[in-house]
Amino acid sequence: MINLLREAGLRHAIVHITGESDVGKTTMALECGALPEEIVFIDSDIKGATKVSQLASTGMQFGMYRDALNDTRGMLEIERYQYYIGVIEEIRQLDESKRRAIIFDTWEPFEKTLQPVVSKDPKKFREFYSPMGTIRGSEIWLASFDYEAEIVGELSALCDLLILVTHVKNYNVGGKRIEGKVVADCKRPVVQKSLVRIWLKHNPKSSVPIGLVMKRLGKTGYVEDKGIRTVNVLPRKITPREGDESLWDTIKYYWEHPIGNRKPEAWETPDEFELSILEGTLTEDQKLTFRLMLQGEKEADEFNEAHDAELGAKALVIYEEQGNYRAVADELGITIPEAARLVREASSGDS
């Protein structure tokens, strides 16, 4: 991939890789085409150390490797931020031949420090805020996006290829989790700055994962009598061809044979679930599950309201007969404050 990008004149490219657990995100990142000694590998995923050891046993080593998972263990967010800033400064000092590719696996631990950093020192980021009035939380949040975009841009300028690997997270609507629905755990700067974004999913027919293309790669050239034209290189779904040892092999094939505007084949076409990942929508099953969940909560609330009303009526009768909340609590098996609440609400309802 890195040689392909260079040949195409696409230097300083940013690729975002995300997807299911244990699907091969780290493997794909490391198989980008650069030699180990040309790779900076910032590792905050426990599985990365194994690959480093395997390479070391063959006498090979990375241009730079940092075990961020262990290095930052027990650190507070601000300390973790300072650690990553120090790592970036180390990368700057490296010879260019040792940083052709920079891999952050995963990006989230660093990304999640940026909003607290901006919140802690708002004066430093004042130019991002409204000059008048109180600095709002939303402005701090947006400023952290700007700061992240700046950092991502600086990193990409240091290399031919920057790969940001992220996990996935639960998808929530109105604070309610949608069962079976997940999204990439990244923020707007990664989405906007990436040249291509790929969601990996397990392949039932091969150890090479299937790639769902969340942001497609374009190929620009000059067409006689038409001028400059750009065509889509990749289909929305990349299924490895027989014999391909890496998804990069399939991507290289598409670079040489772009899908363009042709009708995709069946293996290039996402199914309903895969399309829901790409478009951030819900499948019909997920919509039904969500509706049932909301209906269940509504019915539970209605049941609780009816139950409280019935219990309140009993509490009011007992209170009027006995004259104290303790008698109500003892009779109904509840606390005295709960007995008082039920009596007050029942009395208010009668009036």
Residues 223 and 163 in one domain: yes
pLDDT of 277 reads 84
Say if residue 124 is in the same domain as residue 240. yes
* Alpha-carbon separation of residue 26 from 33, 119, 159, 237 (angstroms): 13, 32, 19, 20
Question: Residues 235, 301: one domain?
Answer: no
* Residues 184 and 18: beta-carbon distance below 8 Å: yes
Q: What pLDDT shows up at residue 289?
A: 56
Domain co-membership, 265 together with 294:
no
Boundary of a domain, candidates 257, 281, 305:
281
Is residue 72 located within the same domain as residue 157? yes
Looking at residue 34, its pLDDT comes to 92
Q: What is the pLDDT of residue 328?
A: 84
320 with 255, same domain: the answer is: no
Is residue 129 domain-shared with residue 222, that is, in the same domain?
Answer: yes
* Position 181, amino acid: K
Q: Could you report the per-residue pLDDT of 313-333, keeping only the tens digit for each?
A: 778 878 887 888 888 877 776
Residues facing 169 on adjacent strands: 183
* Co-location of 253 and 328 in the same domain: no
How many C-beta atoms lie closer than 10 Å to residue 174's C-beta?
Answer: 6
What pLDDT does 71 receive? Answer: 95
Distance from CA of residue 342 to its chain's centroid? 46
The predicted pLDDT at position 56 comes to 78
Q: Is the model's pTM score more than 0.75?
A: yes
In angstroms, the CA 146 to CA 114 distance is: 10
* Domain coverage including residue 324: 287-350
104, containing H or E segment = strand 101-105
User: Which of 281, 310, 332 is where one domain is finished?
Assistant: 281
| Same structural domain, 269 and 301 | no
Angle between helices 108-120 and 137-157 (to 10 degrees): 130
Same domain, 224 and 309: no
Please tell me the predicted confidence (pLDDT) of residue 351.
Answer: 47
pLDDT of residue 222: 76
What element of type H or E holds 212? strand 210-215
Q: DSSP 3-state helix, strand, coil percentages of the chain (rounded to 5)?
A: 50, 20, 30
Residue 303: the pLDDT is 47
Same domain, 139 and 214: yes
CATH label of the domain that carries residue 125: 3.40.50.300
| Per-residue DSSP letter, 335 | -
pLDDT of residue 283: 65
pLDDT < 50 positions in the chain: 303, 351
Quote the CA–CA distance of 273 and 284 in Å, as a whole number.
Answer: 9
**Residue where a domain terminates, one of 260, 281, 302:** 281
d(C-alpha 39, C-alpha 31), whole Å:
11
For residues 232 and 260, the answer to whether their CB atoms sit within 8 Å is: yes
Q: Are residues 181 and 38 in the same domain?
A: yes
Domain count, the chain: 2
Query: What angle (nearest 5°) sits at the alpha carbon of residue 64, between those of residues 58 and 69?
Result: 95
The confidence score (pLDDT) of residue 234 equals 93
